Amino acid sequence: MTKTLLEIQEFNRRKIICAVNGTEDYEEALKKELGVGCKVKIKNFITHNEFNEEIFVIDEYCDFFNETLFRKIGSYKNSEIIEIIGKPLTLDRVLLALKNIKCSWLYFNIENSNICERDANMYDYDDFIFLANWDLTKPILEKQSEETQRAFYELLGGEND
């Protein structure tokens, strides 16, 4: 059965965040994501029995070590972190993850926004294989075309049935 786009996005997110943070443990990798640009879901307590949830992006004013950050968000609107979502999957983070996972020659052609690779056994340095296209007007992986997201899924080790 072919994976849904949501399943592919979740796989990509987990693999990229783990690879960028140098760990196989997703929960540990998420903790390392805390800092400027990281999204967290927080619970805002309105009264003792009433609350709402919102997504909060950590800005430069919250760039502290984890314990200080938790206290800072805890005092923000009487809130607590209930989930760490992580930083956006931008092109630089995707390429860093591929660098840490794959052992091949990757090439980004700025002219047509293609990501290509060259087989290490090929002798012709101009013989690259097209892998994916990255639309530079859409800065994060989840906003790229489904075809591009599926290509990265396979590059990161995912298998389509």
Exposure of 136 by Cβ count < 10 A (0-12 exposed, 13-18 middle, 19+ buried)? exposed
pLDDT of residue 62: 60
Tokens 């296209």 identify what position?
Answer: 133
Question: What pLDDT, in 10s, does the model give residues 77-95?
Answer: 567 778 899 999 999 999 8
Confidence of residue 148 (pLDDT cuts 50, 70, 90): very high
Could you state, in order of their start, the residue ranges of all structural domains in the chain? 5-22+89-155, 36-86
Q: What is the DSSP letter of 90?
A: B
